[in-house]
Amino acid sequence: MQSNEESALLKRAREYDQAAIAEIYDRYSLRIYNYIYHRLGNAPLAEDLTATVFLRMLEAIRSSKAWQTSFSGWLYRIAHNLVVDHFRAGRQDDVPLDEWPVASHEHPADVAERSLTQQRLRAAISQLTEEQSLVITLKFLEGMSNAEIAQLMGKSEGAIKSLQFRALAALRRIIGGEEL
């Protein structure tokens, strides 16, 4: 569901109106950046892929493959696909040890273990289906409510509850039951 204001904005964007596209970028780029960062844990890469998301948006904004119900959901899907492509290409380089955020009270070994666990978890999320991956990221990494996710994905809240259950079960299977 889109507001009239957003519908008008998207209509202008389809005409390649620069001001409209700039507004869309300002409105969504930080959210998309946060999403990609949570998925990859790498800020420069997240910045680069965020730019790519919006270039892809521009390429497809007039296409019939563009969004049907939720524009922001469509942007998240583009971001998801880029993240998956990144993992499939095997480019998920480990963050160098000296770039890990280390709190002063943490032992470096604990930090290293935590980071490895997080990387494995991120890789596992990327093996889920698009919808499962989105719901896991939006719910647990972005902290969105079921209602917000439902609106973004164009589904009912009940469907989101089912989806998150299946997504968690699938993620558990991918990890293979081993302790993270």
Q: Which residues bind another protein (CB under 8 A)?
A: 16-18, 21-22, 25-26, 29-30, 33-34, 37-38, 41, 43-44, 46-48, 50-51, 54-55, 58, 101, 114, 117-118, 121-122, 136, 139-143, 146, 161-162, 164-165, 168-169, 171-172, 175, 177, 180
Compute the distance between CA of residue 73 and CA of residue 157 in angstroms, rounded to an integer. Answer: 15
Rounded least distance, CB 87 to another protein, Å: 15
Rounded least distance, CB 89 to another protein, Å: 21
The amino acid present at 85, given as its one-letter code, is D
Rounded least distance, CB 80 to another protein, Å: 16
* Cβ closest to another protein, residue 97 vs residue 169: 169
Residue 110, number of CB atoms within 10 A of its CB? 12
* Cβ closest to another protein, residue 97 vs residue 180: 180
* Cβ closest to another protein, residue 11 vs residue 172: 172
Rounded least distance, CB 25 to another protein, Å: 5
| Residue in the structure block whose two tokens are 């990144």 | 86
* Cβ closest to another protein, residue 84 vs residue 171: 171
Per-residue exposure over 24-36, b if at least 16 CB sit within 10 Å of its own CB, e if not: bbeebbeebbebb
Sorted by sequence, the CB contacts under 8 Å of residue 162 that are 6+ apart come out as none
Residue 130: helix, strand or coil by DSSP? helix
Residue 132, number of CB atoms within 10 A of its CB? 19
